[in-house]
Amino acid sequence: MKFGVVTFPGSNCDQDMIDALRNDLNQDVINLWHKEKDLSMFSTEDCILLPGGFSYGDYLRCGAIAKFSPMMQSVVEFAKKGGRVIGVCNGFQILCEAGLLPGALLKNQNQQFVCKNIFMKSENTHTSITKEVTGRPLMIPVAHGEGRYYADEATLDGLFANNQVLFRYCDEFGNIVDSANPNGAIRNIAGICNKERNVFGMMPHPERATSEVLGNRDGQLIFQSLINNN
């Protein structure tokens, strides 16, 4: 399995992602530039990653400009063919803006940037990225100002009915409670996928939790689940 990590103007987590995948998980990683369009070196068994940061300065809605980049046109086509795509933080915002995932990311409920470790858990055994971490609280860092997931009630009901909710914010014991929600995301949603289960978006940063040096390897479990269930 190969990974491609896209760098946009304003990306600041691309090297974190590359380092985590290449050095902590021993994966083949290719850096992709936003002005390029060629993804011919990737098959649908591979994965394209959109990292966190402030693509194009986030001067409009976060991710609203990045969706027009030449690379994103290719990423959309790659996803439509069944290729795996993961968006983390700003990458999640880009996926929603590009129409690859439903809903939107709004300003945090407290109107402040939040940067801390949180707990989240998955109850979804239907996706490759969650299959091996289901049912256990994972400690993963967040760092965002517009991470409050929102969708209308019909969309939300569909996400839960179709097993498209990947992760929900919880306390250290796995309880889904309001006090564990760092941004006011509706129904404590921290990550979702598309109906075909090949496009994944999440606000927490698993690439920041893949090494003993960082004091946390819970993020590595998420990537390893994706790799093992390719």
pLDDT in tens, 19-47: 999 999 999 999 999 999 999 999 999 99
Tell me the C-alpha distance between 46 and 108, whole Å.
Answer: 33
**pLDDT > 90 fraction of the chain, expressed in percent and rounded:** 96
Res. 59: pLDDT tops 90: no
**Residues classed as catalytic:** 89, 205, 207
Residues 6+ apart with CB under 8 A from 68: none
Question: Residue 161: what pLDDT?
Answer: 97
Let me know how long the chain is.
Answer: 230
What's the pLDDT tens digit per position in 82-100? 999 999 999 999 999 999 9
How far is residue 63's CA from residue 53's CA, in Å, rounded to a whole number? 10
Indicate whether 60 pLDDT > 90: no
Q: How would you classify residue 212: left for phi > 0, otherwise alpha for psi between -120 and 50, otherwise beta? A: alpha
Question: Residue 212: how many CB atoms within 10 A of its CB?
Answer: 9
Question: Could you tell me the residue ranges of all domains in the chain?
Answer: 2-228
- Judge: domain 2-228, CATH 3.40.50.880: yes
Q: Is the pLDDT of residue 142 over 90?
A: yes
pLDDT of 214 strictly over 90: no
Global confidence as pTM: 0.96
pLDDT bin (cut points 50, 70, 90) of residue 107 is very high
